[in-house]
Chains A and B, each alone.
Chain A
């Protein structure tokens, strides 16, 4: 088996992409297609006092100009957050109304007010400029801390003080007591910088309405087309599910930003019915910056206490999470159940308490972006650990070793029950790969060249595979988080895997096929993966939270179990043998120890001919399964970053980045390493380069690649990526998930390295040259004053 589980198989999907034959949403052109251009608010907060579209409607090529009141009149529902998180006093979260086109108030720059449908993009854009909207400006607030302050502008009537919820986890009194008795306390004020996801394919949608059938088809850039259909149908009232087909064709990256159902998709569907035209919208990059859900944006104070021997006795965390102007689909879960539940890190801590206040501001909605809550948690944990080690004069590696959880299962004080891991093994592997022992010599050599060299650790843990439906349901999720699969063996023996997971760069067409090839010892060529079309694939939950391996592939395994059982039964019947003696190998189904066999395709043919089936067996060879996980999975690892800082300019060069990850079973190491590379690239981006900036009036200053720094090739090194795995006991293949680890683990390693290099721990992300230079000046001034 050279193409099965564990093999570095080249990707089946690559050929279409390298030859320009990929099919992304914007590549599709429908008959009778019109184009949508949105009229967007130039103000961060304002009353809409009037819309005059007369001039726009008279312009060439214009089919329609549609507004919020018309949308409401057609009973299109408000956009919702699908995860209910309650405040610590038991009160429900304060979800403000979000209409896909504003009805009376706009709450962020870019909020959609009206849409123009026209024959061409140019005509639609020109008419959109001609729509006259009258605004009465309202006071604006953009930061979470200011938004909570007395007298701050109020963004939603039903959210006093802009508070969405005031949530807690853990035991506050016990944690306070533990910290009071600590021999050493480390306290940090931390900002987790706001990011723009920037999948390279901008969002797009094409909606088509079939008047005769009252049926809609939506091509869209989605990570989860079935969830999109469900939400569009059940909550936004666009059409019943059986009258709505959602197709997510090739999708050019998501990173969370394409989980959500945005106003534009709803409006395109509705407009297609209003105009009886196919309606296409493709985001410009400028619109993407203004409207794609942002990530992160936490302001946190964290306090960790240690006993005299360096054992952690308690951790208290206070976080203000900026959710923007409206609650996006999973916005409530990201800073709570995906964040605070990881605040035990890799460490045995008896007392953990976290309070999270979620806040409205006049900014674009914030939701899950690669890692979603877990990067914020690992940043808090790993900045604290490194800082504490420095303060206590211990080696950062030893402090961690002293506190690692070593026995599993381990119940943390913040819900999670870790099932497996060997944190010390990952740390050891990373330290060896990084030649940690040789660092001081490298630091001295760099100093001779006038460079400041530093090294930093990050020992992250995350929770993936989200997760048992009953568990997330009890925590407020409005959906179940299982996955589905169907395995169809055709009469000629070829196989189609239909999956509810969605690939937008992850390589499912290859790895999912490898799982099947492995099971039946078949060549990959005859195995295809079908995904991303609600008409073809049964209900599924989609791809996010590193769940397609641990959950999506587990569903395939369950379906394969059923196929295998039927194949063995059928073969046993045909070959007149006992099912227990049947083995599947080398393209055949054999009776062990004999020369009796059916070729694989003969089994398929027999199943569909149905001329000679065992008593009671249905014809055909196709099985489906739904898999609901029994627990989260817990990928973990140790990252070590080594930097050189140019003290003259503050420029940081990452001279070495080592990763040792525990992902459990790995299906295709090549693809897994690629996921880690990309995640680390985004994590380094967060640490060094990226940051969304609004001015006090709520205008987005970082609204293009001229001002929002995307990681480029010259900003990054080649990475040294290693695996040191323990098998996950919670799912049939032992998988933990690899999609987000790089983005979760890397930012603290980078900042720990830079602060080590410059001798100043007061440094926030992104650590731009200007900030690092200022931190060096501050450190020098402090030294001079001593």
Chain B
């Protein structure tokens, strides 16, 4: 057992957990933040994507112990109080989700992608969005409206 402390969604948390605890297990089972999902065992589906120290990573392929002390944001921590994050709002506005299971990971990857492109000044084209989504699998939407949602959010965030 190791005592793991981190800041999750702006809140300091601390738990004693076995050393082999994955970050996603820490988030779901220990913190009971169940918006972060597990859809595969091979680090490909992206349902588990969260931000660690500002970067999107797969929480199913990260030990909680290895990010001890980090700042973590999950989908539950994205909105500003009652005000949805622009990416969340765009997914709703553009019907970017159906069953909702991949959605938290999609939103966390999209947020990271938009931030990286806006920081670099590179244009986030449709082709770029599709390429950037390589690590997020959706079975419901054919990605059509996910791509639209990210385009919409990126445009609104650029103008914000």
A718 in contact with B126 (CB, 8 Å) = yes
Instruction: Give A680 to B160 CA distance when docked, in angstroms.
Output: 35
Instruction: Give A671 to B147 CA distance when docked, in angstroms.
Output: 16
Checking A21, A23, A679, A714 against B76 with a beta-carbon cut-off of 8 angstroms, the contacting residue is A21
A19 in contact with B88 (CB, 8 Å) = yes
Instruction: Give A535 to B126 CA distance when docked, in angstroms.
Output: 46
A705 in contact with B92 (CB, 8 Å) = no
Given A19-B76, A505-B140, decide whether A671 and B95 contact each other with a Cβ distance below 8 A. Answer: yes
| In the complex, chain B residues whose CB is within 8 Å of the CB of A284 | 41
Given A14-B91, A680-B142, A718-B126, decide whether A705 and B42 contact each other with a Cβ distance below 8 A. Answer: yes
B100 to chain A, nearest CB (A): 3
Instruction: Give A656 to B107 CA distance when docked, in angstroms.
Output: 27
A510 to chain B, nearest CB (A): 10
Given A200-B99, A504-B99, decide whether A20 and B35 contact each other with a Cβ distance below 8 A. Answer: yes
| In the complex, chain A residues whose CB is within 8 Å of the CB of B154 | none
| In the complex, chain A residues whose CB is within 8 Å of the CB of B93 | 10
Interface residue? B52 (CB, 8 A)? no
Q: Which residue of chain A has its CB nearest to the CB of B148?
A: A718
Interface residue? A670 (CB, 8 A)? yes
Interface residue? B145 (CB, 8 A)? yes
Checking A507, A671, A682, A713 against B139 with a beta-carbon cut-off of 8 angstroms, the contacting residue is A682
Given A284-B41, A704-B42, decide whether A712 and B97 contact each other with a Cβ distance below 8 A. Answer: no
Pick out which of these stretches binds chain B: A144-152, A246-254, A327-335, A455-463. A246-254
Instruction: Give A684 to B144 CA distance when docked, in angstroms.
Output: 13
Checking A14, A22, A27, A718 against B147 with a beta-carbon cut-off of 8 angstroms, the contacting residue is A718
Pick out which of these stretches binds chain A: B62-70, B116-124, B129-137. B129-137
Contact flags B44-64 to A (C-beta < 8 A → 1, else 0): 110100000000000000000
| In the complex, chain A residues whose CB is within 8 Å of the CB of B44 | 705-706, 710
B34 in contact with A20 (CB, 8 Å) = yes
Checking B38, B41, B140 against A253 with a beta-carbon cut-off of 8 angstroms, the contacting residue is B140
Interface residue? A60 (CB, 8 A)? no
| In the complex, chain A residues whose CB is within 8 Å of the CB of B39 | 200-202, 285
B interface SS class: loop
Interface residue? B13 (CB, 8 A)? no
| In the complex, chain B residues whose CB is within 8 Å of the CB of A255 | 139
Checking B18, B76, B133, B142 against A678 with a beta-carbon cut-off of 8 angstroms, the contacting residue is B142
B36 in contact with A713 (CB, 8 Å) = no
B139 in contact with A200 (CB, 8 Å) = yes
Given A284-B41, A705-B40, decide whether A253 and B99 contact each other with a Cβ distance below 8 A. Answer: yes
Checking A18, A678, A718 against B92 with a beta-carbon cut-off of 8 angstroms, the contacting residue is A18
Given A253-B140, A677-B144, A678-B141, decide whether A199 and B99 contact each other with a Cβ distance below 8 A. Answer: yes
Checking A14, A505, A713 against B146 with a beta-carbon cut-off of 8 angstroms, the contacting residue is A713
Interface residue? A719 (CB, 8 A)? yes
B160 to chain A, nearest CB (A): 18
Q: Which residue of chain B has its CB nearest to the CB of A684?
A: B142
Instruction: Give A4 to B107 CA distance when docked, in angstroms.
Output: 29
| In the complex, chain A residues whose CB is within 8 Å of the CB of B42 | 285, 704-706
Q: Which residue of chain A has its CB nearest to the CB of B126?
A: A718
Q: How many A-B residue pairs have CB under 8 A?
A: 184
Checking A22, A24, A201, A704 against B41 with a beta-carbon cut-off of 8 angstroms, the contacting residue is A704
Instruction: Give A252 to B127 CA distance when docked, in angstroms.
Output: 27
Given A10-B95, A19-B35, decide whether A714 and B134 contact each other with a Cβ distance below 8 A. Answer: yes
Instruction: Give A716 to B131 CA distance when docked, in angstroms.
Output: 11
B142 in contact with A681 (CB, 8 Å) = yes
Interface residue? A11 (CB, 8 A)? yes
| In the complex, chain A residues whose CB is within 8 Å of the CB of B141 | 674, 677-678, 681
Checking A15, A24, A250, A674 against B145 with a beta-carbon cut-off of 8 angstroms, the contacting residue is A674
Interface residue? A506 (CB, 8 A)? yes
Question: In the complex, which residues 163-221 of chain A have their Cβ closer than 8 Å to any Cβ of chain B?
Answer: 198-202
B145 in contact with A713 (CB, 8 Å) = no
| In the complex, chain A residues whose CB is within 8 Å of the CB of B28 | 27
Instruction: Give A719 to B142 CA distance when docked, in angstroms.
Output: 9
Q: Which residue of chain B has its CB nearest to the CB of A506?
A: B98
B126 in contact with A20 (CB, 8 Å) = no
A200 in contact with B104 (CB, 8 Å) = no
A63 to chain B, nearest CB (A): 19
Instruction: Give A132 to B53 CA distance when docked, in angstroms.
Output: 45
Question: In the complex, which residues 73-88 of chain B have their Cβ closer than 8 Å to any Cβ of chain A?
Answer: 74-76, 78-79, 84, 88
Interface residue? B115 (CB, 8 A)? no
* Range for the number of chain B residues in contact with chain A: 35 or more
Instruction: Give A671 to B97 CA distance when docked, in angstroms.
Output: 10
B18 to chain A, nearest CB (A): 8
| In the complex, chain A residues whose CB is within 8 Å of the CB of B129 | 713
A19 in contact with B84 (CB, 8 Å) = yes
| In the complex, chain A residues whose CB is within 8 Å of the CB of B91 | 14, 18
| In the complex, chain A residues whose CB is within 8 Å of the CB of B137 | 200, 705, 710, 712
Q: Which residue of chain A has its CB nearest to the CB of B129?
A: A713
A17 in contact with B97 (CB, 8 Å) = yes
Q: Which residue of chain A has its CB nearest to the CB of B77?
A: A20
Question: In the complex, which residues 90-110 of chain B have their Cβ closer than 8 Å to any Cβ of chain A?
Answer: 91-93, 95, 97-104, 107
Checking B35, B99, B131, B139 against A714 with a beta-carbon cut-off of 8 angstroms, the contacting residue is B131
B41 in contact with A17 (CB, 8 Å) = no
B131 to chain A, nearest CB (A): 5
B50 to chain A, nearest CB (A): 10
Interface residue? A274 (CB, 8 A)? no
A201 in contact with B145 (CB, 8 Å) = no
B40 in contact with A285 (CB, 8 Å) = yes
A677 in contact with B41 (CB, 8 Å) = no
A741 to chain B, nearest CB (A): 13
B98 in contact with A678 (CB, 8 Å) = yes
Instruction: Give A390 to B147 CA distance when docked, in angstroms.
Output: 37
Instruction: Give A711 to B137 CA distance when docked, in angstroms.
Output: 8
| In the complex, chain B residues whose CB is within 8 Å of the CB of A705 | 40, 42, 44-45, 137
B134 in contact with A505 (CB, 8 Å) = no
Checking B29, B100, B139 against A17 with a beta-carbon cut-off of 8 angstroms, the contacting residue is B100
B27 to chain A, nearest CB (A): 10
Instruction: Give A20 to B126 CA distance when docked, in angstroms.
Output: 26
B41 in contact with A15 (CB, 8 Å) = no
Instruction: Give A29 to B41 CA distance when docked, in angstroms.
Output: 21
Interface residue? A51 (CB, 8 A)? no
Interface residue? A610 (CB, 8 A)? no
Interface residue? B138 (CB, 8 A)? yes
| In the complex, chain B residues whose CB is within 8 Å of the CB of A19 | 35, 75-76, 78-79, 84, 88
Given A29-B32, A712-B134, decide whether A253 and B107 contact each other with a Cβ distance below 8 A. Answer: no
Interface residue? A394 (CB, 8 A)? no
| In the complex, chain B residues whose CB is within 8 Å of the CB of A14 | 91-92, 97, 100
Interface residue? A701 (CB, 8 A)? no
A262 to chain B, nearest CB (A): 18
B113 to chain A, nearest CB (A): 11
B99 in contact with A251 (CB, 8 Å) = yes
Interface residue? A59 (CB, 8 A)? no
Checking A22, A200, A718 against B144 with a beta-carbon cut-off of 8 angstroms, the contacting residue is A718
| In the complex, chain A residues whose CB is within 8 Å of the CB of B138 | 200, 713
| In the complex, chain B residues whose CB is within 8 Å of the CB of A671 | 95
Which residues of A are in contact with B by a Cβ distance under 8 Å? 10-11, 13-24, 26-27, 29, 122, 198-202, 250-253, 255, 284-286, 504-507, 670-671, 673-674, 677-682, 684, 704-706, 710-714, 716, 718-719, 742
Which residues of B are in contact with A by a Cβ distance under 8 Å? 18, 20, 28-29, 32-42, 44-45, 47, 74-76, 78-79, 84, 88, 91-93, 95, 97-104, 107, 126-127, 129-131, 133-134, 136-148
Instruction: Sample 10 A-B pairs with CB under 8 A, ordered by A number.
Output: A29-B32, A252-B37, A253-B140, A677-B142, A678-B141, A679-B142, A681-B139, A681-B143, A713-B136, A713-B138
* Extra contacts besides A18-B92, A27-B34, A285-B39 (20): CB < 8 Å: A16-B100, A19-B35, A19-B84, A20-B33, A20-B34, A200-B101, A201-B37, A201-B99, A202-B39, A252-B37, A252-B100, A252-B101, A506-B98, A677-B143, A677-B145, A681-B141, A682-B142, A713-B130, A714-B134, A716-B130
Ranked 4 nearest A-B pairs via Cβ? A20-B35, A681-B142, A252-B101, A17-B100
